[in-house]
Amino acid sequence: MRQKQRDNVVDISRFLGIFFIIWGHTYCPWTIIIYSFHIPLFFILSGIYHKEKTDFFVFLKKKANRIVIPYLFFSLASYLFYMLWYAVFLGIDKFDFLNILNIFAVKNTVSEPLWFFVSLFEVALIYFFLRKSISSNLVLGFCLFIFCLIGYLLSPVRFPYWINYFHIASSVSMLLFYGFGNLVLKPYRKQITTNSYAINLLILISLFTILLLASRHIRGIDVNTNRYDMNLVVYLVAALAGSISVVIFAWFIAKVPFLSKTCAHIGQNSLGIFGLHFPVFELSRPVSTIILPKDSTSWGILVAVNCLLLSWLATEIIKRIFPKGLGLSTNRE
């Protein structure tokens, strides 16, 4: 049977998304803007490939292979890396050996970005049951908004006693974006491909302008800790405007053959890059400092590019060592 061709626009969107995540972690001047949409973008893109007709146990096995096993692998790999890093550069006596317990992700994870794996797994399962239970898209959309509202109200900024166990509050907040990808972007994304260059450029400029205006009212945001220090409507507008802007910009990149192929291939490896990039920062920062002054904007971009390429290379090596065992193949979600 002929394999269905991948959607390069989605893969390129993943590439842009993972670059923004890495760049945002350098605390660049655009951090507030990037943080307003980069995580919702990945939940939207994951929602595009949600399959409603899949049997639950087939779905569970697929998500476990795609998310849980990589999470466990990257947690252990990060733990061993930092143990070695401390032993060589900082002193092994300063290393927290009990950090291994964070593989269970009750409050924290071994490497901070790995919370995303935990939350994505929870979101996929919750959405699966909601989709099976609610036949009306309108009712489902309303339920997803209510979940988002609950997550927003549980923000630690408003409820300091709230502890985000297993990142469930973050997952509840992100359900709306996963559902947006499945209910809205999945059936209508082909509209983007049929638009003219002029129309898509006009939409891109308009959405980016909305994002910039909305971001001026965002004081702080961290999906990991479920912190939203702004008006809910402002956050939703910024998150959706930024995410759709990335998808449209990816469409323009898809029109450039060589650039399209390279960006799409990196995007197909975004999950591995996501899991590896924090430890790889320890290597990319000193290398970039040799070339540019530390903490400058250009230094941050160089760190992000170095980190992206090194993480991509490491992901490719891991895939060759474990070709079927880590869920990092280029198959669709």
Give how far Cα 72 sits from Cα of 84, 112, 228, 292, Å: 18, 13, 28, 35
Q: Which of 83-97, 149-163, 175-189, 195-209 has the lowest mean pLDDT?
A: 149-163
Taking the C-alpha atoms of residue 328 and residue 310, their distance in angstroms, rounded to an integer, is 16
Better-predicted residue by pLDDT, 42 or 1: 42
What does the block give as tokens for 305? 């590019």
Burial (CB count <10 Å: 0-12, 13-18, 19+), residue 230: buried
Task: Count CA atoms within 13 Å of residue 75 on its CB side.
Answer: 21
Give the per-residue pLDDT at 296: 81
Is the confidence at residue 4, as pLDDT, over 60? no
Is the confidence at residue 12, as pLDDT, over 90? yes
Q: How confident is the model at residue 331 (pLDDT cuts 50, 70, 90)?
A: very low
Inter-residue contact 239 to 37 (CB < 8 Å): yes
Taking the C-alpha atoms of residue 270 and residue 192, their distance in angstroms, rounded to an integer, is 23
Q: DSSP state, 109?
A: -
Q: Per-residue pLDDT averaged across 297-307, rounded? A: 91
Give the per-residue pLDDT at 70: 95
Give the per-residue pLDDT at 159: 60
- Residues with Cβ within 8 Å of 323's Cβ and at least 6 positions away in sequence, in order, are 329
Q: Per-residue pLDDT averaged across 204-223, rounded? A: 94
Q: How many CB atoms lie within 10 A of CB 208?
A: 18
Is the confidence at residue 72, as pLDDT, over 80? yes
Q: Per-residue pLDDT averaged across 222-239, rounded? A: 94
The DSSP bridge partners found for residue 224 are none
Q: Per-residue pLDDT averaged across 6-28, rounded? A: 90
- Which segments of the chain are extended strands (E)? 220-222, 227-229
Q: How confident is the model at residue 284 (pLDDT cuts 50, 70, 90)?
A: very high
Taking the C-alpha atoms of residue 310 and residue 227, their distance in angstroms, rounded to an integer, is 30
Give the per-residue pLDDT at 297: 84
Q: How many CB atoms lie within 10 A of CB 137?
A: 14
20-45 residue pLDDT tens? 999 999 887 788 999 999 999 999 99
Give the per-residue pLDDT at 326: 72
Query: How far from each other are the two terminal CA atoms of the chain, in whole angstroms?
Result: 19
Q: How confident is the model at residue 2 (pLDDT cuts 50, 70, 90)?
A: very low
Q: Per-residue pLDDT averaged across 182-210, rounded? A: 91
Is the confidence at residue 156, as pLDDT, over 70? yes
Give the per-residue pLDDT at 158: 64
Q: How confident is the model at residue 226 (pLDDT cuts 50, 70, 90)?
A: very high
Q: Which of 90-104, 105-119, 181-195, 245-259 has the lowest mean pLDDT?
A: 181-195
The DSSP bridge partners found for residue 227 are 222
Taking the C-alpha atoms of residue 170 and residue 109, their distance in angstroms, rounded to an integer, is 14
Average pLDDT of every residue of the chain: 90
